[in-house]
Structure 1
Amino acid sequence: MIWAQAIALLCLIEAVPSHGVRLTPTSIQVGALYQDVPVRVEAVAQPGSQMLVVLRGADTKETFNKKGRVGPVWLNVGKVHISGVPSLFLSFSAAPVQSILSREEIDRYQLDEAAIRRQMRIEPAEFDQPELRSHYWSLKAEQRSYSVQTGALKAEAAGETGVSWRVEFLWPRKAQPGSYMLTAYECRQGRVIRQSTATLTVTRVGLPVAVAALAQQRPAQYAGLAVITAMIAGFGIDFVVSRLGGKRRKLRAAHGAGEAEPEREPTGSRRRGGH
Protein backbone atom coordinates (compact mmCIF):
# COMPACT_ATOMS: atom_id res chain seq x y z
CA MET A 1 0.00 0.00 0.00
CA ILE A 2 2.80 2.39 0.86
CA TRP A 3 4.60 1.58 -2.40
CA ALA A 4 1.42 2.21 -4.40
CA GLN A 5 0.97 5.62 -2.77
CA ALA A 6 4.61 6.50 -3.44
CA ILE A 7 4.31 5.56 -7.13
CA ALA A 8 1.10 7.58 -7.47
CA LEU A 9 2.80 10.59 -5.90
CA LEU A 10 5.76 10.32 -8.30
CA CYS A 11 3.40 10.12 -11.28
CA LEU A 12 1.58 13.22 -10.05
CA ILE A 13 4.83 15.13 -9.70
CA GLU A 14 5.88 14.11 -13.22
CA ALA A 15 2.52 15.06 -14.69
CA VAL A 16 2.68 18.61 -13.32
CA PRO A 17 6.12 20.11 -14.03
CA SER A 18 7.20 22.98 -11.83
CA HIS A 19 8.14 25.96 -14.02
CA GLY A 20 9.27 23.58 -16.76
CA VAL A 21 8.02 21.83 -19.88
CA ARG A 22 6.83 18.32 -20.55
CA LEU A 23 6.76 16.75 -24.02
CA THR A 24 4.73 13.66 -24.97
CA PRO A 25 6.00 11.60 -26.71
CA THR A 26 9.74 12.19 -26.59
CA SER A 27 10.49 9.85 -29.51
CA ILE A 28 8.70 9.02 -32.77
CA GLN A 29 9.43 6.02 -34.99
CA VAL A 30 8.73 6.40 -38.71
CA GLY A 31 7.99 3.10 -40.46
CA ALA A 32 6.42 1.90 -43.70
CA LEU A 33 2.93 2.17 -42.15
CA TYR A 34 3.55 5.52 -40.46
CA GLN A 35 0.44 7.35 -39.29
CA ASP A 36 -0.08 10.82 -37.86
CA VAL A 37 1.36 11.09 -34.37
CA PRO A 38 -0.23 13.54 -31.90
CA VAL A 39 2.25 15.56 -29.87
CA ARG A 40 1.36 17.22 -26.57
CA VAL A 41 3.26 19.98 -24.79
CA GLU A 42 2.63 21.10 -21.21
CA ALA A 43 4.42 24.04 -19.63
CA VAL A 44 4.06 25.92 -16.34
CA ALA A 45 4.72 29.62 -15.83
CA GLN A 46 4.33 32.11 -13.03
CA PRO A 47 1.02 33.95 -12.76
CA GLY A 48 1.09 37.10 -14.88
CA SER A 49 3.56 35.68 -17.42
CA GLN A 50 2.91 34.83 -21.07
CA MET A 51 4.14 31.61 -22.69
CA LEU A 52 5.60 30.89 -26.13
CA VAL A 53 6.37 27.31 -27.24
CA VAL A 54 8.69 26.68 -30.21
CA LEU A 55 9.77 23.37 -31.71
CA ARG A 56 12.89 23.81 -33.83
CA GLY A 57 15.04 21.56 -35.99
CA ALA A 58 18.76 21.82 -36.61
CA ASP A 59 20.06 24.33 -39.15
CA THR A 60 19.86 22.96 -42.67
CA LYS A 61 21.32 23.72 -46.09
CA GLU A 62 19.35 23.17 -49.29
CA THR A 63 20.12 23.57 -52.97
CA PHE A 64 17.57 24.62 -55.61
CA ASN A 65 17.66 25.15 -59.36
CA LYS A 66 17.44 28.79 -60.42
CA LYS A 67 15.11 29.29 -63.37
CA GLY A 68 15.78 31.98 -65.96
CA ARG A 69 14.40 32.95 -69.31
CA VAL A 70 16.67 32.23 -72.26
CA GLY A 71 14.94 33.54 -75.37
CA PRO A 72 11.39 32.18 -75.49
CA VAL A 73 11.93 29.33 -73.00
CA TRP A 74 12.67 28.98 -69.27
CA LEU A 75 15.81 27.02 -68.37
CA ASN A 76 17.98 26.26 -65.33
CA VAL A 77 20.52 29.08 -65.17
CA GLY A 78 22.30 28.06 -61.97
CA LYS A 79 22.10 26.73 -58.43
CA VAL A 80 20.87 28.56 -55.34
CA HIS A 81 22.14 27.48 -51.90
CA ILE A 82 20.05 28.43 -48.86
CA SER A 83 21.42 27.92 -45.33
CA GLY A 84 21.22 29.33 -41.82
CA VAL A 85 17.58 28.30 -41.36
CA PRO A 86 16.02 25.57 -39.21
CA SER A 87 14.78 22.37 -40.83
CA LEU A 88 11.61 22.70 -38.75
CA PHE A 89 9.98 25.70 -37.05
CA LEU A 90 6.67 25.30 -35.22
CA SER A 91 5.57 28.18 -33.00
CA PHE A 92 2.58 28.16 -30.64
CA SER A 93 1.32 31.08 -28.57
CA ALA A 94 -1.85 32.46 -27.05
CA ALA A 95 -1.34 35.89 -28.64
CA PRO A 96 0.78 37.27 -31.50
CA VAL A 97 4.45 37.05 -30.58
CA GLN A 98 4.86 40.74 -31.43
CA SER A 99 2.47 41.57 -28.56
CA ILE A 100 4.39 39.36 -26.13
CA LEU A 101 8.01 40.26 -26.85
CA SER A 102 9.93 43.25 -28.14
CA ARG A 103 11.40 43.19 -31.64
CA GLU A 104 14.86 42.93 -30.13
CA GLU A 105 13.95 39.78 -28.16
CA ILE A 106 12.19 38.21 -31.15
CA ASP A 107 15.28 38.68 -33.32
CA ARG A 108 17.58 37.48 -30.55
CA TYR A 109 15.79 34.14 -30.20
CA GLN A 110 14.62 33.86 -33.84
CA LEU A 111 10.94 33.58 -32.97
CA ASP A 112 9.00 34.67 -36.08
CA GLU A 113 9.06 34.67 -39.87
CA ALA A 114 10.81 38.03 -40.18
CA ALA A 115 13.64 36.95 -37.87
CA ILE A 116 14.19 33.67 -39.73
CA ARG A 117 14.14 35.37 -43.11
CA ARG A 118 16.74 37.89 -41.92
CA GLN A 119 19.14 35.19 -40.75
CA MET A 120 18.79 33.24 -44.02
CA ARG A 121 21.97 33.00 -46.09
CA ILE A 122 21.67 32.78 -49.89
CA GLU A 123 24.53 31.97 -52.27
CA PRO A 124 25.54 33.22 -54.77
CA ALA A 125 24.92 36.77 -53.59
CA GLU A 126 23.43 37.94 -56.92
CA PHE A 127 20.45 35.65 -56.35
CA ASP A 128 19.74 37.03 -52.87
CA GLN A 129 16.41 38.83 -53.25
CA PRO A 130 13.54 39.46 -50.81
CA GLU A 131 11.17 37.50 -53.07
CA LEU A 132 13.35 34.41 -52.82
CA ARG A 133 13.38 34.56 -49.02
CA SER A 134 9.60 34.92 -49.01
CA HIS A 135 9.17 32.02 -51.46
CA TYR A 136 11.34 29.77 -49.29
CA TRP A 137 9.16 30.42 -46.24
CA SER A 138 6.01 29.79 -48.33
CA LEU A 139 7.45 26.48 -49.56
CA LYS A 140 8.19 25.32 -46.02
CA ALA A 141 4.74 26.45 -44.89
CA GLU A 142 3.12 24.35 -47.64
CA GLN A 143 5.16 21.37 -46.46
CA ARG A 144 4.02 22.13 -42.88
CA SER A 145 7.65 22.39 -41.80
CA TYR A 146 7.16 26.06 -40.85
CA SER A 147 4.10 27.14 -38.91
CA VAL A 148 3.13 30.01 -36.61
CA GLN A 149 -0.09 29.16 -34.76
CA THR A 150 -1.49 32.04 -32.74
CA GLY A 151 -4.16 31.05 -30.26
CA ALA A 152 -3.20 27.37 -30.21
CA LEU A 153 -1.56 27.58 -26.78
CA LYS A 154 -4.20 27.48 -24.05
CA ALA A 155 -3.87 28.57 -20.42
CA GLU A 156 -5.59 26.65 -17.64
CA ALA A 157 -6.51 27.66 -14.11
CA ALA A 158 -3.60 28.65 -11.91
CA GLY A 159 -2.46 26.07 -9.37
CA GLU A 160 0.05 25.87 -6.60
CA THR A 161 2.93 25.55 -9.07
CA GLY A 162 1.73 28.32 -11.40
CA VAL A 163 -0.33 28.61 -14.59
CA SER A 164 -0.38 25.52 -16.82
CA TRP A 165 -0.21 26.02 -20.61
CA ARG A 166 -1.00 23.24 -23.08
CA VAL A 167 -0.99 22.65 -26.84
CA GLU A 168 -1.55 19.57 -29.00
CA PHE A 169 -0.67 19.13 -32.67
CA LEU A 170 0.10 16.45 -35.27
CA TRP A 171 3.73 15.76 -36.09
CA PRO A 172 4.53 16.91 -39.67
CA ARG A 173 4.86 13.93 -42.03
CA LYS A 174 7.73 15.50 -43.99
CA ALA A 175 9.91 16.14 -40.95
CA GLN A 176 13.19 14.28 -41.40
CA PRO A 177 14.71 11.90 -38.81
CA GLY A 178 16.82 13.67 -36.22
CA SER A 179 16.67 15.54 -32.93
CA TYR A 180 14.34 18.48 -32.42
CA MET A 181 14.54 21.00 -29.62
CA LEU A 182 11.38 22.12 -27.84
CA THR A 183 11.70 25.40 -25.94
CA ALA A 184 9.10 27.01 -23.70
CA TYR A 185 9.76 30.75 -23.34
CA GLU A 186 8.24 32.40 -20.28
CA CYS A 187 7.77 36.07 -21.13
CA ARG A 188 6.99 39.19 -19.13
CA GLN A 189 7.15 42.90 -20.00
CA GLY A 190 8.45 42.22 -23.48
CA ARG A 191 11.37 40.04 -22.36
CA VAL A 192 12.15 36.33 -21.99
CA ILE A 193 12.61 35.70 -18.26
CA ARG A 194 12.93 31.89 -18.29
CA GLN A 195 13.47 29.02 -20.75
CA SER A 196 12.67 25.32 -20.38
CA THR A 197 13.70 22.73 -22.96
CA ALA A 198 12.97 19.15 -23.99
CA THR A 199 14.16 16.98 -26.89
CA LEU A 200 12.12 15.03 -29.41
CA THR A 201 13.90 12.29 -31.39
CA VAL A 202 12.59 10.99 -34.73
CA THR A 203 14.02 7.73 -36.14
CA ARG A 204 13.29 5.54 -39.14
CA VAL A 205 12.52 1.84 -38.61
CA GLY A 206 11.79 -1.15 -40.82
CA LEU A 207 11.74 -0.98 -44.62
CA PRO A 208 12.39 2.79 -44.94
CA VAL A 209 15.71 2.31 -43.10
CA ALA A 210 16.83 -0.41 -45.53
CA VAL A 211 15.79 1.62 -48.58
CA ALA A 212 17.54 4.78 -47.32
CA ALA A 213 20.72 2.83 -46.51
CA LEU A 214 20.74 1.19 -49.94
CA ALA A 215 20.26 4.57 -51.67
CA GLN A 216 23.16 6.15 -49.75
CA GLN A 217 25.64 3.26 -49.63
CA ARG A 218 24.95 1.55 -52.96
CA PRO A 219 23.34 4.04 -55.34
CA ALA A 220 23.93 1.90 -58.45
CA GLN A 221 22.16 -1.12 -56.95
CA TYR A 222 19.39 1.14 -55.67
CA ALA A 223 18.86 2.59 -59.16
CA GLY A 224 18.75 -0.90 -60.68
CA LEU A 225 16.27 -2.10 -58.08
CA ALA A 226 14.09 0.96 -58.70
CA VAL A 227 14.03 0.26 -62.45
CA ILE A 228 13.18 -3.43 -61.92
CA THR A 229 10.43 -2.53 -59.45
CA ALA A 230 8.96 -0.02 -61.91
CA MET A 231 9.04 -2.62 -64.72
CA ILE A 232 7.33 -5.24 -62.57
CA ALA A 233 4.67 -2.74 -61.55
CA GLY A 234 4.13 -1.74 -65.19
CA PHE A 235 3.82 -5.34 -66.39
CA GLY A 236 1.45 -6.10 -63.50
CA ILE A 237 -0.83 -3.18 -64.32
CA ASP A 238 -0.79 -4.09 -68.03
CA PHE A 239 -1.70 -7.73 -67.20
CA VAL A 240 -4.62 -6.70 -65.00
CA VAL A 241 -5.93 -4.20 -67.57
CA SER A 242 -5.67 -6.72 -70.42
CA ARG A 243 -7.51 -9.40 -68.42
CA LEU A 244 -10.28 -7.01 -67.49
CA GLY A 245 -10.48 -5.77 -71.08
CA GLY A 246 -10.71 -9.36 -72.41
CA LYS A 247 -13.56 -10.23 -70.08
CA ARG A 248 -15.45 -7.12 -71.11
CA ARG A 249 -15.06 -7.94 -74.80
CA LYS A 250 -16.37 -11.47 -74.25
CA LEU A 251 -19.38 -10.15 -72.35
CA ARG A 252 -20.16 -7.67 -75.14
CA ALA A 253 -19.83 -10.40 -77.80
CA ALA A 254 -22.13 -12.76 -75.90
CA HIS A 255 -24.67 -10.00 -75.36
CA GLY A 256 -24.57 -9.01 -79.01
CA ALA A 257 -25.03 -12.61 -80.18
CA GLY A 258 -28.10 -12.98 -77.96
CA GLU A 259 -29.69 -9.87 -79.45
CA ALA A 260 -28.91 -10.85 -83.07
CA GLU A 261 -30.35 -14.39 -82.90
CA PRO A 262 -33.82 -14.38 -84.64
CA GLU A 263 -36.86 -15.72 -82.87
CA ARG A 264 -37.93 -19.07 -84.29
CA GLU A 265 -41.59 -20.13 -84.57
CA PRO A 266 -42.66 -23.61 -83.47
CA THR A 267 -42.82 -26.17 -86.32
CA GLY A 268 -46.38 -27.12 -85.57
CA SER A 269 -47.65 -23.58 -85.89
CA ARG A 270 -46.07 -23.19 -89.35
CA ARG A 271 -47.78 -26.35 -90.57
CA ARG A 272 -51.20 -25.30 -89.32
CA GLY A 273 -50.76 -21.96 -90.95
CA GLY A 274 -50.11 -23.66 -94.34
CA HIS A 275 -53.41 -25.66 -94.35
Structure 2
Amino acid sequence: MRLVLAAIALLPALAHAQTPAKPAHLVTELSSDHVDISTRYTGDEITLFGAMSEPAQVVVKVTSPTQAVSIKQKGRVGPFWLSVAKYDIADTPGLYFLLSSAPIDKILPATAQRRYGLGLQDALSGMHVSPTPADAATFRHALLDLKARHHEYVVNGQAVKILGQRLYSTTIKLPAQLPLGTYRVDIYLVRNGQVIATDHRQINVAEVRIEHWISSIADKRSWLFGISFTLAVMALGLFLGVVMGRGGKKA
Protein backbone atom coordinates (compact mmCIF):
# COMPACT_ATOMS: atom_id res chain seq x y z
CA MET A 1 0.00 0.00 0.00
CA ARG A 2 2.82 2.42 0.82
CA LEU A 3 4.39 1.71 -2.55
CA VAL A 4 1.16 2.44 -4.39
CA LEU A 5 0.63 5.70 -2.47
CA ALA A 6 4.20 6.80 -3.11
CA ALA A 7 3.88 6.10 -6.83
CA ILE A 8 0.55 7.93 -7.00
CA ALA A 9 2.24 10.93 -5.41
CA LEU A 10 4.49 11.09 -8.48
CA LEU A 11 1.58 11.52 -10.90
CA PRO A 12 1.36 15.33 -10.57
CA ALA A 13 4.92 15.52 -11.89
CA LEU A 14 3.63 14.02 -15.13
CA ALA A 15 0.87 16.56 -15.67
CA HIS A 16 2.88 18.49 -18.23
CA ALA A 17 3.31 15.29 -20.29
CA GLN A 18 -0.36 14.37 -20.59
CA THR A 19 -1.08 16.24 -23.83
CA PRO A 20 -0.42 14.24 -27.04
CA ALA A 21 1.79 16.98 -28.45
CA LYS A 22 4.41 16.49 -25.75
CA PRO A 23 6.90 13.58 -25.63
CA ALA A 24 6.48 10.61 -23.33
CA HIS A 25 7.85 11.01 -19.85
CA LEU A 26 8.49 8.97 -16.72
CA VAL A 27 9.40 9.74 -13.13
CA THR A 28 11.32 7.28 -10.95
CA GLU A 29 12.26 7.07 -7.28
CA LEU A 30 14.26 4.63 -5.15
CA SER A 31 13.41 3.50 -1.63
CA SER A 32 17.10 4.13 -0.86
CA ASP A 33 19.96 5.54 -2.91
CA HIS A 34 22.77 4.15 -0.78
CA VAL A 35 23.97 0.84 0.66
CA ASP A 36 26.22 0.72 3.73
CA ILE A 37 28.59 -2.24 3.73
CA SER A 38 29.54 -3.40 7.21
CA THR A 39 30.76 -6.65 8.75
CA ARG A 40 27.10 -7.60 9.25
CA TYR A 41 26.02 -6.96 5.67
CA THR A 42 24.43 -10.04 4.04
CA GLY A 43 22.58 -8.46 1.12
CA ASP A 44 19.96 -5.78 0.57
CA GLU A 45 16.81 -4.97 -1.38
CA ILE A 46 16.01 -1.60 -2.93
CA THR A 47 12.57 -0.86 -4.33
CA LEU A 48 12.37 1.20 -7.53
CA PHE A 49 8.96 2.71 -8.32
CA GLY A 50 7.56 5.39 -10.56
CA ALA A 51 4.92 6.63 -12.96
CA MET A 52 4.76 6.99 -16.74
CA SER A 53 2.85 9.46 -18.88
CA GLU A 54 1.36 6.76 -21.10
CA PRO A 55 0.98 2.95 -21.06
CA ALA A 56 4.17 1.16 -22.12
CA GLN A 57 6.69 -1.46 -21.09
CA VAL A 58 9.55 -0.71 -18.67
CA VAL A 59 13.15 -1.91 -18.67
CA VAL A 60 15.51 -1.28 -15.74
CA LYS A 61 19.28 -1.74 -16.11
CA VAL A 62 21.52 -1.72 -13.04
CA THR A 63 25.29 -1.55 -13.60
CA SER A 64 28.00 -1.51 -10.96
CA PRO A 65 31.51 -0.07 -11.43
CA THR A 66 33.95 -2.25 -13.34
CA GLN A 67 36.29 -4.48 -11.40
CA ALA A 68 39.30 -6.72 -11.98
CA VAL A 69 38.87 -10.44 -11.31
CA SER A 70 40.85 -13.62 -11.91
CA ILE A 71 39.47 -17.01 -12.83
CA LYS A 72 41.17 -20.36 -13.16
CA GLN A 73 40.53 -22.93 -15.85
CA LYS A 74 40.61 -26.57 -14.80
CA GLY A 75 41.76 -29.38 -17.02
CA ARG A 76 42.56 -33.06 -16.81
CA VAL A 77 46.17 -33.84 -15.97
CA GLY A 78 46.51 -37.58 -15.91
CA PRO A 79 43.87 -38.94 -13.51
CA PHE A 80 43.41 -35.56 -11.79
CA TRP A 81 41.52 -32.34 -12.51
CA LEU A 82 43.86 -29.40 -11.86
CA SER A 83 44.11 -25.69 -12.65
CA VAL A 84 45.78 -25.47 -16.04
CA ALA A 85 45.38 -21.75 -16.77
CA LYS A 86 44.66 -18.46 -15.04
CA TYR A 87 43.02 -15.45 -16.70
CA ASP A 88 43.02 -11.88 -15.41
CA ILE A 89 39.88 -10.01 -16.46
CA ALA A 90 39.53 -6.24 -16.34
CA ASP A 91 36.86 -3.67 -17.22
CA THR A 92 33.78 -5.77 -16.55
CA PRO A 93 30.96 -4.63 -14.24
CA GLY A 94 30.77 -6.63 -11.05
CA LEU A 95 26.97 -6.45 -11.15
CA TYR A 96 24.71 -6.27 -14.21
CA PHE A 97 20.91 -6.54 -13.87
CA LEU A 98 18.34 -6.36 -16.67
CA LEU A 99 14.85 -6.22 -15.16
CA SER A 100 11.79 -5.65 -17.34
CA SER A 101 8.01 -5.89 -17.44
CA ALA A 102 8.21 -8.31 -20.39
CA PRO A 103 11.06 -10.28 -21.99
CA ILE A 104 13.35 -7.77 -23.69
CA ASP A 105 13.55 -9.83 -26.89
CA LYS A 106 9.77 -9.48 -27.26
CA ILE A 107 9.55 -5.72 -26.79
CA LEU A 108 12.75 -4.46 -28.43
CA PRO A 109 14.45 -5.50 -31.69
CA ALA A 110 18.11 -6.52 -31.62
CA THR A 111 19.27 -3.19 -33.07
CA ALA A 112 17.62 -1.22 -30.26
CA GLN A 113 18.99 -3.63 -27.65
CA ARG A 114 22.53 -3.06 -28.94
CA ARG A 115 22.03 0.69 -29.10
CA TYR A 116 21.08 0.94 -25.43
CA GLY A 117 23.25 -1.93 -24.21
CA LEU A 118 20.36 -4.12 -23.09
CA GLY A 119 21.93 -7.54 -23.41
CA LEU A 120 24.23 -9.67 -21.26
CA GLN A 121 26.86 -9.62 -23.98
CA ASP A 122 26.98 -5.82 -23.64
CA ALA A 123 28.24 -6.24 -20.08
CA LEU A 124 31.43 -7.70 -21.53
CA SER A 125 31.82 -5.19 -24.35
CA GLY A 126 34.82 -3.48 -22.72
CA MET A 127 36.36 -6.64 -21.25
CA HIS A 128 40.13 -7.16 -21.41
CA VAL A 129 41.53 -10.64 -20.77
CA SER A 130 45.15 -11.57 -20.15
CA PRO A 131 46.38 -13.86 -21.58
CA THR A 132 44.05 -13.95 -24.58
CA PRO A 133 41.98 -17.18 -24.51
CA ALA A 134 42.25 -19.48 -27.49
CA ASP A 135 38.45 -19.59 -27.90
CA ALA A 136 37.16 -16.11 -27.00
CA ALA A 137 33.49 -16.95 -27.65
CA THR A 138 33.53 -20.00 -25.38
CA PHE A 139 35.38 -18.03 -22.71
CA ARG A 140 32.79 -15.22 -22.75
CA HIS A 141 29.95 -17.72 -22.54
CA ALA A 142 31.60 -19.48 -19.57
CA LEU A 143 32.16 -16.15 -17.81
CA LEU A 144 28.51 -15.14 -18.27
CA ASP A 145 27.39 -18.50 -16.85
CA LEU A 146 29.68 -18.04 -13.86
CA LYS A 147 28.35 -14.54 -13.19
CA ALA A 148 24.75 -15.74 -13.50
CA ARG A 149 25.30 -18.58 -11.02
CA HIS A 150 26.59 -16.08 -8.46
CA HIS A 151 23.57 -13.79 -8.99
CA GLU A 152 25.88 -11.08 -10.33
CA TYR A 153 24.44 -10.98 -13.86
CA VAL A 154 20.64 -11.26 -13.87
CA VAL A 155 18.02 -11.10 -16.63
CA ASN A 156 14.38 -11.21 -15.50
CA GLY A 157 11.59 -10.42 -17.95
CA GLN A 158 8.91 -10.41 -15.24
CA ALA A 159 10.64 -8.41 -12.52
CA VAL A 160 8.95 -5.06 -13.24
CA LYS A 161 5.27 -4.85 -12.26
CA ILE A 162 2.90 -2.49 -14.08
CA LEU A 163 0.02 -1.18 -11.95
CA GLY A 164 -2.97 0.46 -13.59
CA GLN A 165 -1.02 1.06 -16.85
CA ARG A 166 0.69 4.14 -15.38
CA LEU A 167 2.59 2.95 -12.30
CA TYR A 168 5.54 0.57 -12.18
CA SER A 169 7.79 -0.98 -9.55
CA THR A 170 10.53 -3.56 -9.12
CA THR A 171 12.84 -4.84 -6.40
CA ILE A 172 16.60 -4.72 -6.93
CA LYS A 173 18.02 -7.62 -4.92
CA LEU A 174 21.67 -7.04 -4.11
CA PRO A 175 23.87 -10.03 -3.17
CA ALA A 176 26.17 -10.25 -0.16
CA GLN A 177 29.33 -9.55 -2.18
CA LEU A 178 29.18 -6.12 -3.81
CA PRO A 179 31.75 -3.97 -5.63
CA LEU A 180 32.06 -0.56 -3.98
CA GLY A 181 31.28 2.64 -5.84
CA THR A 182 28.44 4.37 -7.65
CA TYR A 183 25.91 2.13 -9.39
CA ARG A 184 24.06 3.43 -12.43
CA VAL A 185 20.32 2.71 -12.72
CA ASP A 186 18.85 3.35 -16.19
CA ILE A 187 15.10 3.16 -16.78
CA TYR A 188 13.68 2.84 -20.31
CA LEU A 189 10.08 3.32 -21.39
CA VAL A 190 9.37 1.07 -24.40
CA ARG A 191 6.44 1.07 -26.82
CA ASN A 192 6.02 -0.39 -30.30
CA GLY A 193 9.62 -1.62 -30.38
CA GLN A 194 11.13 1.78 -29.53
CA VAL A 195 12.53 3.50 -26.46
CA ILE A 196 10.32 6.57 -26.05
CA ALA A 197 11.65 7.93 -22.74
CA THR A 198 14.49 7.36 -20.27
CA ASP A 199 15.29 8.20 -16.67
CA HIS A 200 18.46 7.72 -14.61
CA ARG A 201 19.26 7.20 -10.95
CA GLN A 202 22.30 6.25 -8.87
CA ILE A 203 22.98 4.00 -5.88
CA ASN A 204 26.08 4.61 -3.79
CA VAL A 205 27.63 1.49 -2.25
CA ALA A 206 30.25 2.26 0.41
CA GLU A 207 31.82 0.72 3.47
CA VAL A 208 30.98 2.32 6.80
CA ARG A 209 33.88 4.19 8.37
CA ILE A 210 35.44 1.68 10.79
CA GLU A 211 35.10 -1.23 8.32
CA HIS A 212 36.49 0.96 5.53
CA TRP A 213 39.48 1.94 7.66
CA ILE A 214 40.23 -1.68 8.63
CA SER A 215 39.78 -2.88 5.05
CA SER A 216 42.05 -0.13 3.71
CA ILE A 217 44.80 -0.89 6.23
CA ALA A 218 44.58 -4.65 5.59
CA ASP A 219 44.72 -4.15 1.82
CA LYS A 220 47.32 -1.38 1.45
CA ARG A 221 49.47 -1.92 4.56
CA SER A 222 49.17 -5.60 5.38
CA TRP A 223 52.35 -5.54 7.47
CA LEU A 224 50.95 -2.77 9.69
CA PHE A 225 47.64 -4.60 10.01
CA GLY A 226 49.47 -7.78 11.05
CA ILE A 227 51.53 -6.00 13.69
CA SER A 228 48.51 -4.11 15.06
CA PHE A 229 46.43 -7.27 15.22
CA THR A 230 49.22 -9.16 17.02
CA LEU A 231 49.70 -6.37 19.57
CA ALA A 232 45.94 -6.18 20.17
CA VAL A 233 45.75 -9.93 20.83
CA MET A 234 48.75 -9.73 23.18
CA ALA A 235 47.18 -6.82 25.08
CA LEU A 236 43.88 -8.70 25.36
CA GLY A 237 45.68 -11.79 26.63
CA LEU A 238 47.61 -9.73 29.21
CA PHE A 239 44.40 -8.04 30.38
CA LEU A 240 42.57 -11.35 30.76
CA GLY A 241 45.56 -12.82 32.58
CA VAL A 242 45.59 -9.98 35.09
CA VAL A 243 41.82 -10.15 35.65
CA MET A 244 41.78 -13.92 36.04
CA GLY A 245 44.85 -13.77 38.30
CA ARG A 246 43.16 -11.34 40.64
CA GLY A 247 40.06 -13.51 40.69
CA GLY A 248 42.17 -16.54 41.66
CA LYS A 249 43.81 -14.73 44.60
CA LYS A 250 40.43 -13.70 46.00
CA ALA A 251 39.28 -17.29 45.94
- Length-normalised TM-score, structure 1: 0.67
Counterpart for residue 203 of structure 1: 206
- 2: distance between equivalents of 1:24 and 1:105? 29
Counterpart for residue 247 of structure 2: none
- 2: distance between equivalents of 1:75 and 1:23? 46
- 2: distance between equivalents of 1:28 and 1:174? 12
1:122 maps to 2:123: no
Shift of 1:185: 0.5
Cα separation, partners in 2 of 1:105 and 1:16, compared to 1, 3 Å: same
Residue 90 of structure 1 aligns to a residue whose secondary structure is strand
Bigger Rg, structure 1 or 2: 1
Unaligned runs of 5+ in 1: 1-10, 231-275
Residue 139 of structure 2 aligns to a residue whose secondary structure is helix
Question: Is the 1:40–1:167 contact (alpha carbons within 8 Å) kept by the matching residues of 2?
Answer: yes
Coordinate RMSD, CA, aligned: 3.0
1:180 maps to 2:190: no
Shift of 1:179: 0.5
* 1:206-265 per-position Cα deviation (integer Å, ceiling 9, x unaligned): 5422321111231123356678999xxxxxxxxxxxxxxxxxxxxxxxxxxxxxxxxxxx
Cα separation, partners in 2 of 1:133 and 1:156, compared to 1, 3 Å: same
Shift of 1:71: 4.8
Cα separation, partners in 2 of 1:74 and 1:17, compared to 1, 3 Å: farther
Counterpart for residue 149 of structure 1: 156
Aligned residue type for 2:130: E
Unaligned runs of 5+ in 2: 1-6, 15-25, 234-251
Counterpart for residue 114 of structure 2: 107
Shift of 1:122: 2.9
Mapping 1:258-273, distance limit 5 Å: none
Question: Is the 1:90–1:145 contact (alpha carbons within 8 Å) kept by the matching residues of 2?
Answer: yes
Shift of 1:131: 2.9
2:225 to 222, 225, 232: 222
Counterpart for residue 244 of structure 1: none
- 1: distance between equivalents of 2:13 and 2:205? 24
Counterpart for residue 64 of structure 1: 71
Q: Which structure features the higher share of helix residues?
A: 1
Cα separation, partners in 2 of 1:224 and 1:77, compared to 1, 3 Å: farther
Counterpart for residue 27 of structure 2: 20
Shift of 1:149: 1.5
Range with greater deviation from structure 2 (219-228 or 184-193): 219-228
Shift of 1:96: 0.6
Question: Is the 2:31–2:47 contact (alpha carbons within 8 Å) kept by the matching residues of 1?
Answer: yes
Question: Is the 1:85–1:120 contact (alpha carbons within 8 Å) kept by the matching residues of 2?
Answer: yes
Residue 41 of structure 1 aligns to a residue whose secondary structure is strand
1:137 maps to 2:140: no
